[in-house]
Chains A and B, each alone.
Chain A
Amino acid sequence: MSDAKAVADRLVKVKRLNALLTPVKDLRKSLVAQEAAARPTGVLYGMPVAVKDNICTLEFSTSCGSRILEGYRSPYDATAIAKLKAAGALIAGKTNCDEFAMGSSTEHSAYGRVIHPLDKARVPGGSSGGSAALVGAGAVPAALGSETGGSVRQPASFCGVVGIKPTYGRVSRYGLVAFGSSLDQIGVFGRSVHDAARVLSVISGRDARDATCEDRDPLRLPTVPESLQGFVIGLPREYFPPELDPAVRRACERAVRLMKEQGAAVREVSLPHTPYAVPTYYVIAPAEASSNLARYDGVRYGPRFNGSADLRALYRSTRGQGFGPEVRRRILVGTYVLSSGYYDAYYRRAQQMRALIAQDFRNVFDRGVDLLFTPTTPTPAFRAGEKLDDPIAMYLSDIFTVTANLAGLPAISIPIGRVKGLPIGGQLIGQAFLEDEMIEAAYALERSVPATDEA
């Protein structure tokens, strides 16, 4: 498909995006070695795949966009990486991201913000902004990201590429540095539905190292359907609020019309607990994060910072200086909601609400709806700095994506138009482990929608 040097050259060309954390010299060397070692019979032979910096690779450091893991080298490959390599793919470096995947703009990286490939004043979305920007800029055909609340779909939408978040348990999390373990899934970016889907197919399937990974065969790729005849697509009214950006609404309406024209039946549905999704998410994810990030204490790996005279000082200085402000904020929130006396009021209630949100989806699917269609984000890419001082506004950019994570459902974002040159994404949410149906519909939509036209 492309030789190692050409891959490296394309990545050098987009250096201005600050999307790649791996030094180009190291990358060049590694790509040549990887290409020599790659299995020519692999289904992804020679395909360069960039990898978010929170997925462990033997090749490059895995810093999670954090100071606290600066220079950390994993002694093992994540299962998804091992599967990519076995399929002949080339690991095309590690991509910049919000620190520990906490953010929606890739401004919260210890290694500087990532620039939107089409507008240097804007953010690429996050937290997998580096991966999205590299695919959006055409530097790689596909990249791995990770999702906890929309961190693949939201930047895919912002950067005008395809992003898939599989069903929870479809892809092994072994080697994905944990943020919110019950929500985390590795996801895929691609220039096209096909690119994303074939990478997903390779990394999916059972793994004895992850007890939450389902005992299933890898996803079988569907073929592009003749039409959408027989598909019932639900439009959840909670995802089309009056204040929705008008261009986003127009793009969605056009996409719906195009799906109807291909034979899909479309009906309005309701997911009544949607308004509680973001607050629910911002209890559960930080709670799990506060525990998952406890291991970064400066004792065994990663840098130690000044003032490590005794144990408490070591913890305080390492964690105080090693973590950025957004990570510290979430650790504090998570510690608070799990504290005795507050657990019932926050964590337990959030879990109850999560169950209701998942039930909303089941109710709709039980009534004959195959897929849901929504905007991926309420707005196109926003300006850098615009939401940095307002965490709530930042959190709300995930309002249409967190629900699929809370319910564990597969979802895909595909480009459905532009507004003033900025991409708009449309989202299809599928039923658990029915990624094939979701991908079929996405193929049909992708084929018909004028993705780069103004909506």
Chain B
Amino acid sequence: MSPAWETVIGLETHVQLRTRSKMFCGCSTAFGAPPNTQVCPVCLGLPGALPVANGAAIGLAVRAALAFGCTVHPRSIFARKNYFYPDLPKGYQISQFDQPLATSGTLSFLSPERGIVNATIVRLHIEEDAGKSIHDRFAKATAVDLNRSGVPLIEIVGGPDLRSPAEARAYLLTLKQLLEYIGISDCDMEKGSLRVDANVSVRRAGDTTLGTRTEVKNINSFAFVEKALSVERDRQIALVESGGSVTQQTMLYDSRENSVRPQRSKEESHDYRYFPEPDLPPLVLTPEFVAEQQSALPELPPAKRERFMAQYALSREHAAVLTASRDVADYYESVVRAPAEPQPAANWVMTEALADAKDHQEQLRVSPTALAQIIALVKGGTLSHQAAKRVFGEVAAKGGDPRTVAEALGLVQVADSNVVSGWVTDVLGAHPTEVARYKKGEVKLMPFFLGQVMRASKGKADPKLAQRVLEEKLAS
């Protein structure tokens, strides 16, 4: 991208709330059920049926708003968004419009280009999902599955504060981590529980007014966020550079072609005719209810990061890695409490534990107590670092007590100086040339001797003891 251009992006994120039942009826929200089996008169939009708001969903939405530091409004209004589509059974979606649940929050995230950025959360409101139209299942017919109809969502509208596709990705990742952290959603894009639309515009560097924006839709996976936004940014820049101008429209991203195309105007010329939902009274939140949600929030990542730095004397980078997910942070603290020294514990969690988790569906397979024991075995000289890694792998795969496992694998270090002396004597006897060179002053050969001793001992020799014995014998 030419440095003469600045990209401006704002994301609208829809997140499915983690509730057992739907927003306005008692139907299950479980994913993957056969089509149209989790439905009732309310979410089918049958004549005479009425919505009743799900209190659990409202609680989760309030928690999300509080996590962004939003102003949560004591009174908000449900509104009908009217449009016709076969997967919208009532002909309107119950949402919120001019009086949303919450406004004016912030999401701090680490931009790959600008460091910490405080992006604005303009508003956060509650709405219900539509059903699903399936166009490729039957020839010449569209099928409709209404299991999703009425599933509770929040829409989080971010301000035009993002300056590149990579930054948009970082924002979205942080947003996802935060919502997972507070447990209000599983944020699984593949299951549709997190969806994102992007408003994109470009302007000449230094301009302060916003260019005409387009809305990019159909970004179905995390992997496509950056690609889709880059394609649209490049299209707009090319358009403007060739003397054209951007038209305000909706662009659909095609991940197979890695391209965008305008949505047909027929599909988008909506006047949604919002008006207050007469079937639902205003959503009134008592201060007690909001306080209850506040107290249900866990320590949020920024606060936790600061605490880790202070309490465990960790670097900012280490603290950031360890607090990126709530599971990892809790795990780390359990290891430290087991107890283990904070820094070695951090090293082990960030390397071995996270690597193992990555290969095993994010499962932290070694219990905090076992990891603390492994760390203690290394510290006490019972295990070499290499041996300890093997023990970790074994415990992860098969379980068991680390010391027992180490012994069974024959990995316990030999700290008996007589035994070590024997190995040293053997090694020195086998390498007379190197011994002579060392004695003439080539002390750099020490690691060679040490390696040979470790090999002779099959890794069991306590390296510190071996070095001391080697130094003694070579000095004589």
Residues of A within 8 A of B (CB): 55-56, 62, 64, 69, 72, 74-76, 78, 173-178, 180-182, 208-212, 287-288, 290-291, 293-295, 297, 299-301, 311, 315, 335, 338-340, 343, 347
Contacts and interface: CB of A to CB of B under 8 A. Distances in A.
Interface stretch (B39-47, B199-207, B250-258): B39-47
A64 B47 contact: yes
A290 B47 CA distance: 14
B47 A335 contact: no
B48 interface: yes
B278 interface: yes
B47 A74 contact: yes
Nearest to B91: A294
Contact of B89 (A72, A208, A300): A300
B144 interface: yes
Contacts of B51: 211
Interface stretch (B78-86, B331-339, B364-372, B427-435): B78-86
B30 to A, nearest CB: 22
Given A295-B90, A300-B89, A311-B86, A74 B48 contact: yes
Contacts of B84: 294, 297, 315
15 contacts: A62-B48, A69-B47, A74-B46, A78-B48, A208-B52, A212-B50, A288-B278, A290-B82, A291-B92, A293-B91, A295-B45, A295-B89, A299-B89, A300-B89, A315-B84
Given A291-B273, A295-B89, A339-B273, A56 B48 contact: yes
B271 A339 contact: yes
A294 B82 contact: yes
Interface of B is mostly: loop
Contacts of A177: 47-48
Interface of A is mostly: loop
A293 B48 CA distance: 11
B21 to A, nearest CB: 13
Contacts, number: 96
B47 A72 contact: yes
The 10 closest A-B pairs by CB, nearest first: A294-B91, A181-B278, A182-B278, A338-B273, A175-B48, A56-B48, A177-B47, A295-B45, A299-B86, A177-B48
Tell me which of A55, A208, A295, A335 has the highest count of chain B C-beta atoms within 10 A of its own C-beta: A295
A293 to B, nearest CB: 8
A315 B83 CA distance: 12
B281 interface: yes
Given A72-B47, A338-B274, 7 more contacts: A174-B50, A178-B47, A178-B48, A180-B278, A212-B50, A294-B82, A295-B47
Interface of B: 41, 44-53, 80, 82, 84, 86, 89-92, 144, 271, 273-275, 278-281
A182 B279 CA distance: 7
Contacts of A301: 46
Contacts of A287: 275
A212 B52 CA distance: 9
A173 B50 CA distance: 8
Given A211-B52, A347-B275, A291 B86 contact: no
A212 B279 contact: yes
B273 A340 contact: yes
Contact of A211 (B45, B80, B90, B279): B279
A64 B50 CA distance: 17
Contacts of B46: 74-76, 301
B281 A174 contact: no
A358 to B, nearest CB: 15
A209 B50 contact: yes
A338 to B, nearest CB: 4
B41 A343 contact: no
A340 B91 contact: no
A76 B48 CA distance: 10
A211 B82 contact: no
A82 B71 CA distance: 43
B91 A297 contact: yes
A309 to B, nearest CB: 11
B338 to A, nearest CB: 49
A64 to B, nearest CB: 7
Contacts of B48: 55-56, 62, 74, 78, 174-178
A69 to B, nearest CB: 7
Contact of A338 (B50, B90, B275, B280): B275
A177 B279 CA distance: 12
B47 A56 contact: yes
B385 to A, nearest CB: 63
B91 to A, nearest CB: 2
B454 to A, nearest CB: 73
A209 B52 CA distance: 6
